[in-house]
Chains A and B, each alone.
With several copies, the nearest count.
Chain A
Amino acid sequence: MARFLPLSQAVSENLHDGDSVAFEGFTHLIPTAAAHEAIRQGFRDLTLIRMTPDVVYDQMIGMGMARKLVFSYAGNPGVGLLRRLRDAVENGFPNALEIEEHSHAAMANAYEAGAAGMPCAVFRGYRGAELARVNPNIRFIECPFTGEELAAVPALRPDVAFIHAQKADRRGNVLVEGIVGIQKEAVLAARRAVATVEEVVEDFDDQHPNLTILPHWTITAISVVPGGAHPSYAHGYYARDNAAYLEWDKVAADRDVFRDWMDRNVFQARVEDFEQRVEKLRVAG
Chain B
Amino acid sequence: MTGADFTPNEMMTIAASRALGNDDVCFVGIGAPSAACNIARLTHAPDITLIYESGTIGTAPDVLPLSIGDGELCDTALTTVPVPEMFRYWLQGGRITIGFLGAAQIDRFGNINTTVVGEYEHPRVRLPGGGGAPEIASSSQEVYVTLAQSRRAMVEKIDFFTSFGHGEGGDHRQRLGIDTRGPTLLITDLAIWRPDPQTKEFTVVSLHPGVRREMVQETCGWTVRFAERVEETPPPTEQELSILRDLKARTEAAHKGR
**A–B direct touch, CB within 8 Å, in complex?**
yes
Which A residues form the contact surface with B (CB < 8 A)?
Answer: 1, 26-28, 51-52, 71-75, 77-79, 81-82, 85-86, 89-90, 101, 103-105, 108-109, 111-112, 115-118, 123-131, 134, 148-149, 173, 178-182, 184-185, 188, 204, 209-213, 215, 217-218, 233, 235, 239-243, 245-246, 280-281
Among candidates A77, A123, A181, A210, residue contacting B79 with C-beta atoms closer than 8 Å: A210
Closest to B77 in A: A209
Interface centre among A28, A185, A280 (most CB of B within 10 A): A28
Contact assessment for B80 and A105 in the assembled complex, using a CB-CB cutoff below 8 Å: no
Contact assessment for B80 and A108 in the assembled complex, using a CB-CB cutoff below 8 Å: no
CB-CB under 8 A for A90 and B126, given A27-B70, A103-B131: yes
Cα A86 to Cα B118 with chains together (Å): 13
Contact assessment for B54 and A71 in the assembled complex, using a CB-CB cutoff below 8 Å: no
The residues of A that contact B93 with a CB separation of less than 8 Å are 115-117, 188
Cα A204 to Cα B57 with chains together (Å): 13
Cα A86 to Cα B132 with chains together (Å): 20
Closest to A24 in B: B83
Asked if B234 is at the interface of the complex by the 8 Å CB criterion, the answer is no
Asked if B53 is at the interface of the complex by the 8 Å CB criterion, the answer is yes
The residues of A that contact B18 with a CB separation of less than 8 Å are none
The residues of A that contact B56 with a CB separation of less than 8 Å are 179
Among candidates B69, B71, B92, B138, residue contacting A128 with C-beta atoms closer than 8 Å: B138
Contact assessment for A51 and B83 in the assembled complex, using a CB-CB cutoff below 8 Å: yes
For residue A128, give the distance in angstroms from its CB to the closest CB of chain B. Answer: 3
CB-CB under 8 A for A117 and B92, given A105-B135, A108-B84, A209-B74: yes
Cα A115 to Cα B73 with chains together (Å): 24
Interface size on B, residues (CB 8 A): 72
Which B residues form the contact surface with A (CB < 8 A)?
Answer: 23, 25, 30-31, 49, 53-58, 65-71, 73-75, 77-84, 86-89, 91-95, 115, 120-121, 123-135, 137-139, 160-164, 167, 173, 176-178, 254-258
The residues of A that contact B82 with a CB separation of less than 8 Å are 180-182, 184-185, 212
Cα A124 to Cα B92 with chains together (Å): 7
The residues of B that contact A105 with a CB separation of less than 8 Å are 87, 91-92, 132, 134-135
Cα A235 to Cα B258 with chains together (Å): 16
For residue A230, give the distance in angstroms from its CB to the closest CB of chain B. Answer: 11
Contact assessment for A26 and B55 in the assembled complex, using a CB-CB cutoff below 8 Å: yes
For residue B249, give the distance in angstroms from its CB to the closest CB of chain A. Answer: 15
Contact assessment for B80 and A130 in the assembled complex, using a CB-CB cutoff below 8 Å: no
Contact assessment for B55 and A181 in the assembled complex, using a CB-CB cutoff below 8 Å: yes
Interface centre among B88, B95, B257 (most CB of A within 10 A): B88
Contact assessment for B79 and A211 in the assembled complex, using a CB-CB cutoff below 8 Å: yes
Cα A233 to Cα B3 with chains together (Å): 43
The residues of B that contact A86 with a CB separation of less than 8 Å are 125-126
Cα A204 to Cα B31 with chains together (Å): 29
Contact assessment for A240 and B66 in the assembled complex, using a CB-CB cutoff below 8 Å: yes
Cα A270 to Cα B244 with chains together (Å): 43
For residue B183, give the distance in angstroms from its CB to the closest CB of chain A. Answer: 12
The residues of B that contact A246 with a CB separation of less than 8 Å are 66, 255-256
Contact assessment for B162 and A179 in the assembled complex, using a CB-CB cutoff below 8 Å: no
CB-CB under 8 A for A129 and B258, given A104-B53, A181-B82, A215-B58: no
The residues of B that contact A241 with a CB separation of less than 8 Å are 258
Would you list the 5 A-B pairs with minimal beta carbon distance, nearest first?
A27-B69, A128-B164, A75-B128, A77-B67, A73-B131
